[in-house]
Amino acid sequence: MSIARHHAEWLSLVEVSGPFLSLPVLMRAYPQGLEDIDPAVAQQLRTAYEEWHEDLDHRTRAAATHQAWIAYVLRFVLEFPDSAIAEGQAIPDTLKATVPEYGETLRPTHVVRDTSDGTPRMLVVA
């Protein structure tokens, strides 16, 4: 399987939005390709994704389903330990981005931190 096709297979497992997760970005970042996807994990991920996507139309369930989706991806698919994930009050208030022209302040709902020193390394905003 070609590297581009392999990247496209990975991308088919996630909601793609914006310029941050795209085939050209993956080709630059991982020219050798990504790890193979375990077929059982891929099927479970597709099922969880479909449940999440269906609930987007139901306002009363969408927020809870969205949080569960993020937690599922971080813990099950990416296999981050609980000690590496901060949520809610455990996220420092300094981790935010203000967009004055829109009057918005963006804050992450989940933070994946380096467990060796507790420093945030990647933000997941939902």
Tens of pLDDT, residues 70-96: 888 888 888 888 888 888 888 888 888
Q: What is the pLDDT of residue 101?
A: 92
Contact in structure between 77 and 45 (CB atoms under 8 Å): yes
Give percent of the chain above pLDDT 90.
3
Pick the closest to residue 12 from 34, 119, 103 (CA basis). 34
- 19: helix, strand or coil: coil
Say if 20 falls within a structural domain. no
Which helix (H) or strand (E) covers residue 86, if one does?
Answer: strand 85-87
Say if 64 falls within a structural domain. no
Say if 72 falls within a structural domain. no
Total domains present in the chain: 1
Determine how many CB atoms are found less than 10 A away from the CB of residue 86.
19
Structural domain of 108: 81-126
Query: Which pairing describes strands 97-99 and 85-87: parallel, antiparallel, or unpaired?
Result: unpaired
Say if 123 falls within a structural domain. yes
Say if 111 falls within a structural domain. yes
Say if 40 falls within a structural domain. no
What is the average pLDDT across 14-27? 64
Say if 105 falls within a structural domain. yes
